Each structure stands twice: as structure tokens, then as C-alpha cells.
Structure 1
């Protein structure tokens, strides 16, 4: 039988899964008697955990929210996961320093063996490839946006566009979700002035006070925030996550050389030195450029729009070359 402290930790881990457990289920999972389950439940209650008894034919237990913070117990895997999350999740935000302090506090109270495991997890979170101050998200802004999303209150905000004039634009929005996409924070909102959905970079937002009236949330196109954001960043209207432009080519390269760099494309082996690549992009020119990253001869399978994009790029590149004869030196494949 497990030691009492280890058994309590396992019991608490089960109760934290946000479901009701019968005494028989807990006894079976922990390989103990129902009587021992009842004693362990009482021990956890003495430690400050609010565990309610569920009435019914089978009875059971449920972990509820309490009025004070009881001792926090983590198993080894949970502790390592928490350490990794604290080291990586706050990248590019103003809470990075707080996350580091939280990790230091957590490490200080851990037993030596677990502290050693965490110290072995060396993770370096690389911020977005731009000036750090430009992409840094203020923790206070995140809290204000989160509160407005939760309260369903309209927001007045100043938003600095990515390109063009550095002057901030005044916007009135109904905030719906805060999301992260490729290490950046975005606010998904309904723009009241443009009567359309918009995604705003949070590091370019300055909320104004007070907030506006409460609103009834609209349904996101497609109904799923992850799918909607993926669709928008692929140049669609939010109802489909597929690329608006998708084409197929034959590359004079082995499939094994192409597959690691095909991202979400599909690669089909046609022989030892040829493969078929199907890839998507936000435009036909962008798709042709992506295929051109592979240092190989290209045969366009279709559609005609992709061949036309290659023809347009050929004219541009020929003009840019200015009559220089191509070198026969083979350039490295993309990384």
C-alpha cells in the first residue's frame, strides 16, 4: 500500500479532474478500501480542501472552490509541467518577471529530488523576431482586456496599425476572446464602426476608460475561436481553415528532402528523385514563392493560376537579375 502522503497526493490529483467520484471508483483507482478513502477525504478536509459529498444512489465526492488557499500538492509530472509553463508561457508579456518569481518560489518549497528534476528541464523561450520593446505586452493591458471579455463590455481603445501612419486609431469593439498565435497576443473582437470581425495585436492596444455598455456576444464565424483565428491568418473569412490558394507541383527532389520543409503541405513520393508537393498559401504569388524556396526544377500540375503566378514572378526576377548569368552553384535547401 502507498504511504499516506503519496496516497493523499494521488487522491487529490483525481479529485482535481473536475468530475464527481464515487467512493468505490476512488478505492479502485488507488487500490485501497472504501473506508481508507473516507479517512483520506477527512485528512484533505483538515488541510483546507473543500470536498463536498455528492448525494445519490452511489454517493461520491467533489472538490469545490474554497475561501482560502490550502497547501498546493503536485505530483512529479505536474510540477515539471508547471515549471515548463512558467518558463515559456509568459514570453513577450509584462508578466515574465512575475512568472520567474513564481517559479523560484515553487522551486524553494520542493523536495530535493523534484527540484533536481525541474533544474534538468532547460527551456529557453525565444521571443518574436523583432525589437523586444515593440512586441512586449503590458500585464495591466492583458488584465483589462480579460476583464472586458469576461464582463461582456464594449471597449474603446487606441490601436496602432502595423503599417502606415504611426498615429493610433480610435476603435469601438465588442471583445470576445484573447488568443495567442505564434508567440503573440491578439484580441478577437467585433468592430462596431466597421461592422466586421477584427484581430488586434495586444501590444498595439491602449484601452480607454470607462468601458461601454454590456453586449450580447455574437457567434464567431465557424463557431470555434481556434479555427476562426487560423482562418483569418490564412486570408479567409473565418468559416474555413483551408488556405484560399492551394496548388500542386512536381519537384525534382527526393520526397525525404522535401517533407521536413513542407509545413502543412502533403508530399508524395514519385521516384528516387521526384515527388509531388501540394501546398497552400494566402495568395498565388505567395504559393509560387513558397515552392521556389526548394532548390530544384519545378513542374506545375495545377491549377492554371499557379502557373500564371510563376510566369509573373519570372518576369520580375528576370528584370531584377539585370542580365546576370545564373551560377551553377547549388544553394542550400530551406531550413
Structure 2
């Protein structure tokens, strides 16, 4: 039971920011208090300016709705728009560091944005094009927010799914976690029609719909959504490679630049580090990703990756030697300058 009223109010507010209706009894159980205390805490949130809507019924329910203005002591209009645009842009690609927590934040923010601010966010995003993007396929932010809300609210989720061979199916699932690999978003969920756990690429999902039907979370076989995804993806690949690489940089530097699913490099006595990992990705992509780290490295295994790195190096060398300073301005447009 939470006896600290401010802490309990923050916990209640966090629950209400999930886009769903919470029965009073469920809130009381989550907070470890009586229903009467929940009603009093809701009144306190209303006094602070949070638009909490109550519904009538045997159990009663509460939900946080969009008001005429942003709730006080959170964000002003400009900050809300800036954060929403940034989160939407990041959520469209599985960028490292933009994980499920960021998508949940986007879902909460967009739920309470007034219509005028939501329109500004949509207009600004439609009028801009990012210079760079993630390595994987793009994902509609709306898809991610619906799925993240279903995960947080423990609601069954229905969606259309396109398999790798192009076959389309309709799925009804109990969503467990969203997992970002740095290139793609995946949903780990229990597939009710197949009575088994499955992983779904989010860029192949369309028409996601939270049904409102609650479920009690099942126990994941591996205990970790990331570990389950890793095993599931590797099983689908025909080949898994044992990779060994030595980097001419400290382990903490390399770990900060490598995608998490590569594994953790081990420090060596001379200041370098070594990585041993089992990877099921295309080796051409692994070679390119290693080259982007910005430090020297040596590939020890497998032989196929050694060959890919050599071919990539030779290709880049040829590209750099193909031109000369005298060719730089021939037949080329003058780059646009500020003010042109």
C-alpha cells in the first residue's frame, strides 16, 4: 500500500495516462488502497487541472481525456509540440535509444494533446522530411502508439499481418512487449488463434485495434521479451554465424556505438576489446555496421564475414580513387547555399 499521498497521486496519474478506462476496483487494487481513497485522489487530480472523466456503473471507471489545455505543471504548448514531433519522427524507425518507453511516452502525450496542438504536430511532420533514417523499414507512429497502449493496458490486440512471403492474415493477440532491435520494431505476443507465442514485425502490421478485452499476462517461456525475440529470429534464419572481432578501442566506447543485439564486447589488457557473438543477420549488413563504428577492427571469424569486409573495403577504395580533384566540378550542379 502506498501511504505517501504525492507518490500515490503520481502513480495514479501514470495509470490514467494509459489510453483506456480504468475500473475503480482495479485502480484500488493496483494502488493498494480503498475505492473511497481512489475517488478522493481523483478529485485531487482534478483540482490540479487534470481532466479525469468518470463513468457511471456498478464498478465505475476513470480515464484521462484531452482537455481544453495541457494539464498544468507538465509542458507548455511549444514544448509539447516539439516533443511530440521528435518522438513521432524517432518512432517511425527503430533508432537505437528510442525504445518502448519512448513510444509509451508518445502514446501518453498524444492522448492528452488538445486538438489544436495535435493539428500542429501533424502539419509540421507532414511538411518536413528527415535527412537520415534508421536502417530498417519505417513504421507509422500511430501503429506503435496503439500497440504500446494495448501492451500497457493489457488489452487484446487485433491487426492485419503480412508475412514475409506476402500472405495476409488477421491476428488476435495478447500483446506482451514491443522490442526495438535498432533496425526494426517487433511485437512479442501470445497468438490466441495459434495458441502459442509469436513475434511480429511491426512494419508488416496494419489496422491495429485494441479490443478493450482485458487479459492476465501469461508467463513468457524465456522470461525476457528481448531474449525470446533473439531466439525466434535466429531460428528463422537458415544460418547463424559465430562472429569474432577485435576493436582498437576501449570496450565502453565500442559498446556505446554497437547495437545492443550484437552483444557486449570484452575488454582486453592492452586497451582494446573483443566481441564474440552469434548473429543471424546478413553478413553484408554486419560488415557495413562494423565499418560505421569509427575505429579500426579485425575480423577473426567467420571466413564469410572476413570476405565481406574485404569486398566492402575494396569497393570503397575504388569509389574514392575513381574521381580526381579536376573532375569534382565537371558536370556537377553547384550545391545550394543558405539564402539561395
On whether the aligned pair clears a TM of 0.5, the verdict is no
> In which range does the TM-score fall when normalised by the shorter chain?
0.3 to 0.5
Report the TM-score when normalising by structure 1: 0.44
Which structure has the larger Rg over C-alpha atoms?
1
Q: Which has the higher contact order (CA 8 A, sep 6+)?
A: 2
Under a length normalisation based on structure 2, what TM-score does the superposition of the two structures give?
0.43
